[in-house]
């Protein structure tokens, strides 16, 4: 806990050698000589105490750029400019990057998208379990990919809001325009989910709503 100037002065006086030349009286000339030193000690201790919250990127202010410099550029392009993030969102994303470590549950990736300001849902398909399957049952559920129903066991269906799709409109599109694309924010989040997903899982992305 940081000390006040008076408390710092009292501490310095207790460290003075005993004797009449260096009295411990706060009103003495010697105490007056030590007062500027006590003021600096109080300032340094207050500054050090103020740095304690800066160890958590979620609540830090002054050291947030240093945390970002430490982590380096985000491999998926998640930053304030690309995703129009507030300072608070950047801080939470920085914390997520700092603490991320091989999460396995779909809920972790829903939260990852939320850190970037997007709401997604993830459907995890039933896994085959020895001893529970019965004769005639499908080994694994089907999922629609590329217009064809395919049996998939290790795919996640990641559903993003449909308003993130940018579709060409007749009368507005020009020669050379793509017929459809996703909002850059959606592409960034999709790349992050695909890059961080468990090694045995292949995310498939869909837009609905």
Confidence of residue 23 (pLDDT cuts 50, 70, 90): confident
For residues 14 and 83, state if they share a domain. Answer: no
Q: What are the tens digits of pLDDT across the range 26-54?
A: 888 888 889 988 999 999 988 888 888 88
Q: pLDDT value at position 144?
A: 54
Boundary residue ending a domain (69, 99, 129): 99
Q: pLDDT value at position 25?
A: 83
Q: What are the tens digits of pLDDT across the range 53-80?
A: 888 888 888 888 899 898 888 888 877 7
For residues 28 and 77, state if they share a domain. Answer: no
For residues 48 and 60, state if they share a domain. Answer: no
User: 43 lies in which domain range?
Assistant: 5-55
For residues 115 and 69, state if they share a domain. Answer: no
Element (H or E) spanning 159, and its range? strand 155-161
State how many domains the chain has. 3
In whole numbers, what is the pLDDT of the chain averaged over residues? 79
Residue 180 pLDDT exceeds 70: no
For residues 112 and 204, state if they share a domain. Answer: yes
Residue 1 pLDDT exceeds 80: no
Q: What are the tens digits of pLDDT across the range 131-142?
A: 666 676 655 555
Q: What is the pTM of this model?
A: 0.56
Residue 145 pLDDT exceeds 60: no
For residues 94 and 25, state if they share a domain. Answer: no
Give the Cα separation of 194 and 57 in Å (integer). 25
Decide: residue 187, CB within 10 A, 0-12 exposed, 13-18 middle, 19+ buried. Answer: middle
For residues 164 and 180, state if they share a domain. Answer: yes
What's the half-sphere exposure (Cβ side, CA atoms, 13 Å) at 46? 11
Give the Cα separation of 31 and 11 in Å (integer). 11
Residue 146 pLDDT exceeds 60: no
Conformational region of residue 127, where left means phi above 0, alpha means psi within -120 to 50, and beta covers everything else:
beta
For residues 202 and 111, state if they share a domain. Answer: yes
Residue 150 pLDDT exceeds 60: no
For residues 35 and 61, state if they share a domain. Answer: no
Across 184-203, average pLDDT: 84
Q: pLDDT value at position 31?
A: 85
Question: Residue 139's closest CA among 123, 125, 128, 124?
Answer: 128
pLDDT cut 70: percent of the chain above it: 76
Boundary residue ending a domain (42, 73, 99): 99
For residues 41 and 67, state if they share a domain. Answer: no
Q: pLDDT value at position 137?
A: 61
For residues 88 and 129, state if they share a domain. Answer: no
């Amino acid at each position: 806990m940081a000390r006040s100037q008076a408390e710092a002065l009292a501490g310095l006086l207790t460290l003075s050698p005993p004797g009449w030349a260096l009295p411990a009286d706060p009103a003495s000339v010697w105490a007056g000589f030590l007062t500027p030193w006590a003021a600096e000690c109080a300032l340094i201790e207050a500054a050090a105490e103020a740095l304690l919250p800066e160890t958590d990127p979620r609540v830090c202010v002054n050291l947030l750029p240093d945390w970002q410099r430490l982590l380096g550029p985000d491999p998926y392009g998640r930053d304030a400019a690309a995703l129009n993030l507030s300072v608070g969102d950047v801080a939470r994303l920085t914390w997520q990057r700092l603490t991320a470590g091989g999460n396995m549950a779909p809920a972790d990736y829903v939260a990852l998208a939320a850190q970037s300001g997007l709401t997604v849902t993830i459907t995890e398909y039933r896994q085959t379990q020895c001893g529970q399957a019965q004769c005639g049952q499908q080994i694994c559920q089907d999922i629609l990919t590329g217009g064809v129903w395919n049996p998939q066991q290790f795919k996640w269906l990641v559903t993003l809001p449909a308003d993130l799709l940018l579709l060409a409109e007749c009368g507005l599109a020009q020669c050379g325009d793509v017929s459809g694309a996703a909002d850059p924010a959606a592409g960034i989040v999709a790349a992050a989910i695909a890059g961080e997903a468990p090694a045995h899982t292949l995310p498939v992305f869909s837009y609905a709503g």
